């Protein structure tokens, strides 16, 4: 798999290339900046920059170099190797081990020459714990290390004794046999170049033909001859590449330009290859490859023990159609078992794991990734795009409906403890209906790791049991065998005696790593840790006495990072860490020219110790290092300490704060710095620095970058957290309002934020010069009255289909099905976590800080602590009786919810108010009204008229306290004290309204002449009539059409409307349930010029325009039922029955329709799941049946908003209009307007705050007709 990384190993002798290293620092810095602008990381490893005496003492320096050469080749295919070759041969190390094959050949001569004592035998000891029985060069103990002079003499003696024997017995072997007797530099060159001839074109060799006078070390003639021979061999080996890939120079010559040119050329080629590979893969294909590769690597370490995968597979098969909770203590092998099952039964298992893919740390993406695997296997049909987190559970259930029924499937969600939003929204997944051929497995530590509200919802639980002693020893031996090691008998006895009672596989894995470095000749005792945490602590404590701060700070940074850190990021953080730099200077051999390159050497040695505890995960091509287990991360945090972690968080926050949001910024493209967006805010949260967080969230580029990455929900959560810490300022509130008002636009097209912010005036235009768009849709200013109607509306997802309760401080309680949520109207965002309540058709009400949830059988009380809702009590209650009026379609909520749940509640006393102790009846009269809904609170009543007007009335004093225009309103809720009314609108928006007695007006009594239009509308509560509402028939004119009343649409709300403009004429068509009306207005003063009744035109009759003027504006064309009708403006007469010619859409417009439909399909409403029949009362069932039968007859409202089939059909036929060299897509349902050029590239997007009935495009202007019956809105497409 490709990685966006350039990692170069520099091989050279130690002393005589200091000047070259210093000269190349500037080259490396320039290359690093070039790579960064392309989204790549750049790293140079020169192991000569810093040498640890401890590593020399343990004889592992050369092995670390070989490991780094291998990593460079794996992570950076080209370039990965740079050779600095001179006439100084360099240090010839002793081999760290001698194979048994070689030792058996030479051991007889060792005994013959020195029968009593051999220096070779005293330093090379037989390791019986090694599977191949090698002889190890033992480490020097502390006493021997203090006598460095003696060691140099010993080393020389060992070489004199060993190398002649090798030469004698293996003279026929290659020069590179066992790499014995070669310098460290030549061994590196052999590993990095001579072993891989296919990659030599990506290697650069810098050859110095003369040693500088400053070189103080001189070598023997044999060593100089070896150096010259190596240069000759390099020259012959490179062959035809000698001119491009090699440079011969002498001291004083300029060599940096050719090195830079070569590296730039190869790096540019590498970047282009990665970009081609990246473009050829979809995001899912890339993630799938990374995931499968990680699973294959994990499978190499899998050892089957008592949790047989066959048992687990059988258990999953027996639980089809249900949800299984896989539990076990931390380190019990849950993830390994799931990955092994996925590996074995790849065809029927799908798996998501946040440990492997950081993107799966969100519930929505984890579900999407699992179902995408089923789609790739052909088990599931075409999948919709990834949902937002709010609707991911409903989306998941809907997608499973398309699953093939002939295949049994198991969906595995691993490590939900590490899914950051699981506690917020993951519990709703437990309510999903699972198909009978599917098993959903959720993996977590235990049931206690789930929220209390989620416990008990799982159908079954499969728990991994601790290991038995014999299983533990078997597992340990198998793991050691895979690493080429054996378990000694003495060590096995110690382990059997000291093994904990319930060891976990992770504990045994840690013990294996401890034994892996243990030699059979070690004299130190074997100490067993008492538990897993103790084992981690013992093995991760500072392994070096030389660089403790570097080690502690390095692991501290890794523990703090949210997703992990790339090596380049970690090195940069360590470079900015002053205590680390001071410590490093003590162990470097010359003045540091570039701290990062020096630190990389020390980090390579630390990585050698930590590599068994780290995992590498891919984040958009950047390889991140993170601890492979969350328990390791927690232990590291405890080791480093909170105070040190806080200091490290300041360094990390400062680094990511200075990083740019855009790595590469051009007019047509912006490469977002994902790493900054992922790590900056967690660092500031750890510091509890909300002032800095406020500055970050006010940055337009930061917000724009988040939306470009598709992280709308994460951004909203950050703003909500900021509001809860009282750090919101005016800019944040404007951003929140804009994000709410245009939520769909920003989630589908995140790169449209900057134009929208510029148009709304949030930021000065001088700061928005490069928005990324060439055009914007600019609103023409509307009348002040109309702006006031819309400016305070707040988007509340699914508001029209949920139950609400309003608190005095602006907080809402929302019950959606069984999900109980909180929402802050001031912050305009949900407050987490959520709760889940087992109720059916319940309602809510507040009393102070207590929230009550009441259904037909029980009452549940919650306490709002500010941070969460805590359940206090659940009690059984007497059943409630719903209230219905004489008209079964007119439900009046007579009485507040608090009164209905009162202990003295009776069927005939729900709503009551007292005047002198006597119950009084009140009559309200409304002329020209078709729809009335009343929502009462004590003596106060909120009356919704025709879904477009709100009256707040005092029933006792018969006063009209306030009246508001509320187009498309459907519900109202009172605050507990009755001071405000929350109105819920269609399309999921809400708004608060208040009233005052100071501006009240008395309610007028109906005149006798209106009695003839009276339609008695009585609300009956039990057997006592307490509230009478009279609605008056709509006045009719001579043509039997609605009267024109203050707007172009009339007083009644149509089901559908369309319009057209020509000159100063505005033609409007209105469709009601059984008739259609065409009206002609004068545009400037809205004077009604003419009107005509026509046949109804349904909105989906035609793909084209249903009404439009001809080119001259003299004839109005109306399309109905496949025919054209012409209304001549001069005579106002109709010509009918003109057959319409077929108007087939072009292929390009159809492509745009399909492209847009795929984008918005996940946003279409999902029909709510029904209530279980056994939980409904008999009367409820009867009433619902009657309502279902009579609804088509008596309902005069709009078509059902949740009609999936009808809505999908309309979205597939979304209008695509070509005008002014642009293509316009107008989505009236979502209030979205999109413009693209002739090549199909998006020009701009716009989401209107108000819903619209119809549109009209003329040149670069678009006119839209809102559903609030007001004037058409004009938008101009202007250049930025």
pLDDT in tens, 1176-1213: 445 455 555 554 444 444 333 333 434 456 566 667 77
Q: Which residue has the tokens 């984008």?
A: 1159
- pLDDT band of residue 686 (cuts 50, 70, 90) is very high
The residue-averaged pLDDT of 132-143 equals: 82
Among 101-110, 463-472, 936-945, 1134-1143, which stretch is predicted with the lowest mean pLDDT? 1134-1143
Contact partners, residue 290, CB within 8 Å, separation at least 6? 1, 356, 357, 617, 618
Average confidence (pLDDT) over 330-357: 87
Asked whether the beta carbons of 324 and 316 are under 8 A apart, the reply is: yes
Rounded mean pLDDT of 1156-1172?
61
Residue 1023 neighbours by CB under 8 Å, 6+ apart: 908
Cα dihedral 572, 576, 579, 581, rounded to 10, equals: 60
Angle, helices 61-75 vs 595-610, to 10°: value is 100
Name the maximum alpha-carbon separation found in the chain.
135
Is 551's pLDDT higher than 50? yes
Contact status, residue 554 vs residue 600, Cβ threshold 8 Å: no
Angle (CA) 478-480-486 rounded to 5° is 105
**Res. 3: pLDDT tops 70:** yes
Average pLDDT, the chain: 78
Q: What would the mean pLDDT of 1124-1147 be, rounded to a whole number?
A: 71
Predicted pLDDT at 1121: 65
Query: Domains plus CATH for the chain?
Result: 5-92+183-280 (3.40.50), 97-179 (no CATH), 307-463 (3.40.50.300), 487-540 (no CATH), 794-1032 (no CATH), 1056-1139 (2.40.10), 1152-1165+1201-1279 (2.40.10.360)
Q: How far is CA 294 from CA 20, 242, 529, 557, 742, in A?
A: 40, 39, 29, 24, 39
d(CA 34, CA 1174): 67
The whole-number pLDDT of residue 361 equals 85
* Per-residue model confidence (pLDDT) at position 1020: 37
Instruction: Please tell me whether residue 692 adopts helix, strand or coil conformation.
Output: helix
Reported for 372-378, long-range contacts at CB under 8 A and 24+ positions apart, including other chains, are 372/284, 372/288, 373/288, 374/350, 374/403, 374/409, 376/284, 376/288, 377/347
Question: What is the reported pLDDT for 657?
Answer: 93
Q: Which of these, 1244, 1247, 1261, 1262, lies nearest to 771 by C-alpha position?
A: 1244
Is a pLDDT exceeding 60 seen at residue 388? Answer: yes
Greatest mean pLDDT among 722-736, 781-795, 907-921, 998-1012 lies in 722-736
The answer to whether 657 and 692 are in contact (CB under 8 A) is yes
Max avg pLDDT among 156-170, 934-948, 1010-1024, 1080-1094 = 156-170
Per-residue pLDDT of 415-449, as tens digits, reads: 888 887 777 677 778 778 899 999 999 988 766 55
Predicted confidence (pLDDT) at residue 1056 exceeds the cutoff of 90: no
pLDDT of 1077 above 50: yes
Structure tokens that stand for 306 in this block: 């008592």
Give the pLDDT of residue 585: 76
CA distance 898 to 388: 35
Mean pLDDT on 587-612: 70
DSSP-derived secondary structure letter, 526 = P
At 452 the pLDDT is 56
Q: What angle do CA 10, 12, 18 make, to 5 degrees?
A: 95
pLDDT of residue 217: 66
d(CA 369, CA 379): 14
Say yes or no to pLDDT of 798 above 50.
Answer: yes
Q: Find which of 282-286, 878-882, 1007-1011, 1253-1257 is predicted with most confidence, using mean pLDDT.
A: 282-286
Highest mean pLDDT range out of 208-222, 346-360, 1053-1067? 346-360
Of the segments 895-904, 997-1006, 1041-1050, 1174-1183, which one has the largest average pLDDT value? 997-1006
Secondary structure class of 636 (helix, strand, coil)? helix
pLDDT the model gives residue 1137: 63
Q: Which residues contact 731 (CB under 8 A, 6 or more apart)?
A: 698, 762, 763
pLDDT over 90 at 649, yes or no: yes
**What pLDDT is stored for residue 1138 in this prediction?**
60
| Unique residue bearing structure tokens 């000569």 | 48
- Reply yes or no on whether the pLDDT at 613 is more than 80: yes
| Mean pLDDT computed over 1014-1031 | 41
The answer to which of 178-192, 640-654, 885-899, 1232-1246 has the lowest mean pLDDT is 885-899
Average pLDDT, integer, range 286-304? 87
Residue whose C-alpha is closest to residue 1231's, from 1262, 1253, 1258, 1202 = 1253
C-alpha closest to that of 519 among 245, 126, 168? 126
Distance separating alpha carbons of residues 6 and 31, to the nearest angstrom? 10
For 830-885, write each residue's pLDDT tens digit.
777 777 787 887 888 888 889 998 887 888 999 988 778 888 888 888 776 544 33
Question: Which pLDDT score, from 0 to 100, does residue 842 have?
Answer: 83
Residue 785 has pLDDT above 50, yes or no: no
Tell me the mean pLDDT in the region 405-413.
90
| Percent of all residues in the chain with a pLDDT value above 70, rounded to a whole number | 77
Confidence band, pLDDT 50/70/90 cuts, at residue 1048: very low
At residue 1013, the pLDDT reads 45
Average of per-residue pLDDT across 731-736: 86
Residue with the bigger pLDDT between 559 and 767: it is: 559
User: Is the backbone peptide bond immediately before 79 cis, with ω within 30 degrees of 0?
Assistant: yes
Task: Tell me the three state secondary structure of residue 309.
Answer: helix
Q: Is 54:27 a contact under the CB 8 Å cutoff?
A: no
For the cut 60, the answer to whether the pLDDT of residue 114 exceeds it is no
């Amino acid at each position: 798999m490709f990685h966006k990384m350039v990692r170069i190993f520099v091989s050279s002798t130690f002393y005589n290339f200091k000047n070259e290293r210093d000269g190349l620092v500037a080259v490396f810095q320039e290359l690093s900046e070039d790579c960064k602008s392309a989204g790549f990381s750049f790293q140079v490893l020169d192991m000569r920059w810093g040498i640890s005496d401890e590593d020399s003492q343990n004889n592992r320096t050369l092995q670390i170099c070989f490991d780094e050469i291998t990593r460079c080749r794996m992570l950076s295919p080209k370039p990965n190797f740079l050779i600095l070759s001179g006439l100084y041969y360099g240090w010839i190390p002793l081999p760290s081990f001698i194979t048994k094959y070689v030792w058996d050949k030479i051991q007889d001569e060792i005994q013959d020459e020195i029968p009593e004592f051999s220096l070779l035998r005293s330093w090379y000891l037989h390791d019986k714990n090694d599977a191949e029985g090698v002889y190890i060069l033992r480490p020097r103990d502390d006493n021997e290390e203090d006598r460095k002079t003696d060691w140099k003499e010993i080393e020389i003696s060992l070489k004199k004794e060993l190398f002649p024997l090798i030469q004698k017995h293996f003279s026929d072997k290659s020069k590179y046999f066992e790499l014995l007797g070669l310098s460290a530099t030549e061994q590196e060159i052999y590993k990095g170049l001579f072993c891989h001839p296919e990659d030599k074109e990506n290697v650069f060799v810098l050859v110095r033909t003369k040693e500088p006078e400053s070189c103080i070390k001189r070598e023997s003639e044999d060593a100089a001859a070896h150096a010259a021979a190596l240069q000759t061999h390099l020259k012959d080996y490179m062959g035809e590449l000698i001119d491009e890939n090699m440079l011969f120079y002498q001291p004083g010559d300029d060599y940096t330009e050719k090195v830079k040119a070569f590296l730039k050329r190869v790096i540019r080629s590498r970047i282009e290859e990665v970009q081609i590979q990246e473009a050829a893969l979809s995001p899912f294909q890339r993630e799938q490859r990374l995931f499968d590769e990680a699973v294959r690597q994990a499978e190499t370490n899998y050892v089957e023990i008592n949790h047989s995968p066959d048992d687990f597979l059988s258990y999953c098969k027996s639980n089809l159609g249900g949800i299984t909770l896989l539990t076990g203590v931390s380190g019990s092998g849950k993830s390994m078992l799931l990955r092994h099952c996925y590996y074995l039964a790849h065809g029927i298992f799908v798996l998501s794991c946040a440990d492997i893919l950081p993107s799966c740390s969100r519930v929505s993406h984890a579900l999407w990734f699992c179902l995408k695997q089923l789609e790739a296997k052909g088990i599931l049909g075409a999948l919709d795009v990834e949902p937002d987190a709010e609707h991911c559970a409903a989306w998941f259930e809907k997608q499973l409906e398309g699953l093939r029924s002939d295949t049994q499937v198991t969906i595995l969600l691993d490590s939900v403890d590490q899914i950051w939003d699981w506690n917020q929204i993951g519990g709703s997944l437990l309510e999903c209906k699972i198909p009978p051929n599917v098993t959903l497995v959720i993996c977590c530590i235990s049931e206690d790791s789930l929220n209390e509200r989620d416990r008990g919802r799982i159908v079954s639980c499969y728990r991994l049991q601790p290991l038995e002693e014999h299983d533990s020893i078997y597992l340990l031996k198998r793991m050691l065998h895979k690493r080429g090691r054996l378990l000694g008998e003495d060590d096995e006895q110690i382990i059997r005696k000291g093994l904990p009672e319930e060891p976990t596989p992770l504990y045994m894995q840690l013990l294996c790593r401890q034994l892996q470095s243990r030699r059979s000749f070690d004299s130190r005792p074997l100490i067993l840790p008492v538990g897993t945490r103790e084992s981690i602590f013992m093995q991760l404590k500072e392994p070096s006495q030389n660089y403790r701060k570097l080690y502690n700070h390095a692991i501290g940074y890794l523990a703090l990072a949210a997703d992990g850190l790339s090596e380049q990021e970690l090195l940069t953080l360590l470079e900015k860490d002053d205590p680390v730099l001071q410590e490093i200077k003590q162990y470097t051999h010359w003045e540091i020219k570039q701290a990062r390159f020096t630190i990389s050497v020390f980090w390579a040695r630390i990585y050698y110790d930590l590599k068994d505890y780290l995992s590498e995960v891919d984040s958009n091509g950047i390889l991140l290092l993170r601890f492979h287990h969350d328990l390791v991360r927690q232990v590291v945090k405890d080791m480093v300490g909170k105070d040190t972690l806080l200091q490290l968080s300041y360094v990390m926050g400062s680094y990511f704060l200075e990083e740019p949001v855009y790595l590469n910024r051009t007019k047509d493209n912006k490469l977002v710095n994902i790493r900054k967006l992922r790590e900056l805010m967690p660092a500031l949260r750890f510091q509890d620095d909300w002032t800095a967080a406020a500055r970050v969230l006010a940055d337009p580029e930061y917000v724009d970058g988040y939306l470009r990455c598709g992280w709308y929900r994460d951004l909203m959560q950050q703003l909500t957290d900021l509001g809860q810490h009282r750090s919101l300022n005016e800019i944040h509130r404007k951003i929140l309002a804009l994000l709410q008002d245009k939520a769909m636009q920003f989630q589908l097209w995140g790169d449209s934020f900057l134009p929208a912010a510029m148009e709304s005036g949030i930021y000065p235009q001088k700061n928005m010069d490069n928005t990324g768009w060439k055009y914007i849709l600019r609103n023409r200013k509307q009348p002040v009255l109309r702006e006031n109607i819309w400016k305070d509306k707040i988007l509340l997802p699914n508001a029209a289909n949920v139950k609400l309760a309003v608190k005095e401080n602006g907080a809402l309680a929302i019950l959606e099905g069984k999900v109980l949520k909180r929402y802050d109207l001031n912050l305009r965002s949900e407050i987490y976590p959520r709760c889940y309540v087992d109720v059916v058709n319940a309602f809510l009400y507040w009393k102070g800080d207590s929230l009550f949830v009441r259904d037909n059988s029980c009452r549940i009380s919650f306490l709002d602590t500010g941070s969460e809702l805590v359940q206090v009590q659940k009690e059984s209650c007497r059943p409630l009786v719903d209230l219905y009026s004489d008209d079964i379609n007119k439900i009046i909520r007579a009485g507040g919810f608090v009164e209905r749940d009162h202990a003295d509640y009776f069927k005939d006393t729900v709503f009551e108010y007292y005047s002198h102790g006597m119950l009084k009846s009140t009559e309200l009269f409304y002329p020209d009204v078709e729809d009335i809904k009343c929502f009462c609170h004590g003596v106060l009543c909120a009356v919704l008229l025709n879904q477009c007007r709100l009256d707040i009335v005092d029933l006792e004093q018969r006063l009209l306290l306030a009246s508001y225009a509320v187009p498309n309103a459907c519900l109202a809720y009172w605050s507990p004290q009755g001071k405000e009314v929350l109105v819920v609108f269609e399309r999921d928006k809400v708004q608060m309204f208040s009233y005052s007695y100071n501006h009240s007006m008395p309610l007028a009594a109906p005149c006798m002449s209106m009695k003839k239009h009276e339609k008695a509308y009585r609300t009956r509560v039990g057997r006592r009539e307490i509230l009478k509402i009279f609605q008056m028939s709509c006045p009719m004119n001579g043509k039997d059409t609605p009267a024109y009343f203050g707007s172009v649409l009339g007083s009644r709300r149509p089901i559908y409307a369309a319009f057209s403009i020509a000159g100063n004429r505005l033609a409007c068509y209105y469709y009601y349930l059984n008739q259609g009306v065409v009206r002609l207005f004068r545009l400037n003063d809205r004077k009604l010029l003419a009107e005509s009744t026509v046949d109804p035109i349904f909105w989906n009759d035609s793909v084209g325009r249903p009404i439009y003027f001809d080119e001259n504006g003299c004839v109005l064309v109306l399309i109905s039922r496949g025919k054209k009708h012409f209304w001549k403006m001069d005579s106002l007469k109709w010509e009918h029955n003109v057959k319409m010619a077929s108007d087939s859409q072009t292929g390009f417009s159809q492509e745009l329709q399909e492209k847009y439909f795929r984008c918005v399909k996940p946003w279409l409403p999902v029909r709510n799941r029904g209530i279980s029949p056994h939980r409904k009362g008999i009367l409820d069932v009867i009433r619902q049946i009657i309502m279902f039968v009579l609804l088509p007859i008596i309902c005069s409202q709009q078509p059902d908003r949740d009609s999936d089939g009808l809505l999908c059909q309309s979205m597939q036929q979304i209008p695509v209009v070509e005008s002014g060299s642009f293509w316009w897509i107008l989505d009236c349902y979502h209030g979205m307007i999109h413009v693209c050029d002739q090549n199909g590239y998006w020009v701009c997007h716009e989401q209107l705050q108000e819903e619209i009935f119809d549109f009209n495009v003329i040149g670069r202007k678009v006119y839209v007709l809102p559903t609030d019956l007001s004037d058409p809105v004009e938008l101009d497409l202007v250049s930025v």
